Structures are given as structure tokens and as C-alpha cells.
Amino acid sequence: MKPADIDFMRLALAEAQQAAALGEVPVGAVLVRSGQVIGRGFNQPISSNDPSAHAEMVALRQASLSEGNYRLPDTTLYVTLEPCTMCAGLLVHTRITRLVYGATEPRSGAVISRAQVLAQPWLNHHVEVEGGVLAEECGAVLRDFFRAKREQSQ
């Protein structure tokens, strides 16, 4: 883990809180290059009517538009939850250098928990992975959100 990882993960957690405020699953992401945030996002598929509007996708779209390039080399993506299959593939296509995530996703995580997409030797780009950064805090945001949802439905 690098010294700045915790600080950037805290920014991703702030993004996750924005998702929770909208009733979206609280996942947040920030994309960093040379110590500067160049993209940020939170889950918003419900509010945007866009099934691909995961936190990672939103952050990478924002960065690609501001950078004027669909490739984002020399960057680190911080995300509060282990990416799904769609988002793991996105990291390869955008040439993200490093992924740092918080909580694992045992049901559908595609980095270490299930599909292990980024570990495939046939990929034309490989992403360095660091998991478990602020895992307890990231997981607590999700647990609290779903607990509140369950209580509302009773």
C-alpha cells in the first residue's frame, strides 16, 4: 500500500455517500494521476436510467472526457468495492495502471472473489491490484445502507 492510498480511498468513500443519499448502492470511485484526481463518480444506474453507470464507469467517463482520450495510462483507480465483470473489463480497455479497492464482493466480484478477470494471461493489458484498503469502512457503508433498506421495507 502506498501512503496516499488511504487519503484517496477516503475521497472514494465520500463519493459513495453521495450515492447513498440518492438511494443508490453506495459505491464510490476516484481516478488519480500524479497525485491529482482526474475523475470521480458514484453509483447512479437508477437515477440516470443507465445500467452501466457504476461508480468506476462514471469516474472513467469523466476523466476520459476531461483528458480527451479513451485511454487513461499512468492512473490509479480507487473504488470502495471490488469491481464487477463489466468494470474489470473497463479497466483493461482504458489501460488503468493500478486498481485499489476497499471491500471485497463475494457474490460478484470480478477481481479476486469470483471471475478474476484481471488475472487472465491472455489480456493485452495487466492492471496492478491492491485490495482491502479501508475495507472495514467501505464494507460498513454498504452494510448500513442495506440494513436501512431492509428496515424500511418492514
pLDDT tens readout for residues 19-38: 999 999 999 999 999 999 99
Q: For the whole prediction, is pTM greater than 0.85?
A: yes
Cβ atoms of 74 and 32 closer than 8 Å? no
Convert the pLDDT of each residue in 64-100 to its tens digit. Answer: 999 999 999 999 999 999 999 999 999 999 999 999 9
Contact 105, 84 (CB under 8 A): yes
Residue 93 assigned ligand-binding role: no
Q: Which three cell numbers stand for residue 147?
A: 440494513
Query: Is 54 marked as binding a ligand?
Result: yes
Per-residue model confidence as pLDDT tens digits over 30-64: 999 999 999 999 999 999 999 999 999 999 999 99
Taking only the tens place, the pLDDT of each residue in 6-23 is 999 999 999 999 999 999
On whether 138 is known to bind a ligand per the annotation, the reply is no
Report, as residue numbers or ranges, the catalytic residues. 56
Distance between CA atoms of 50 and 15, rounded to whole angstroms? 18
User: Which domains are present in the chain?
Assistant: 3-147 (3.40.140.10)
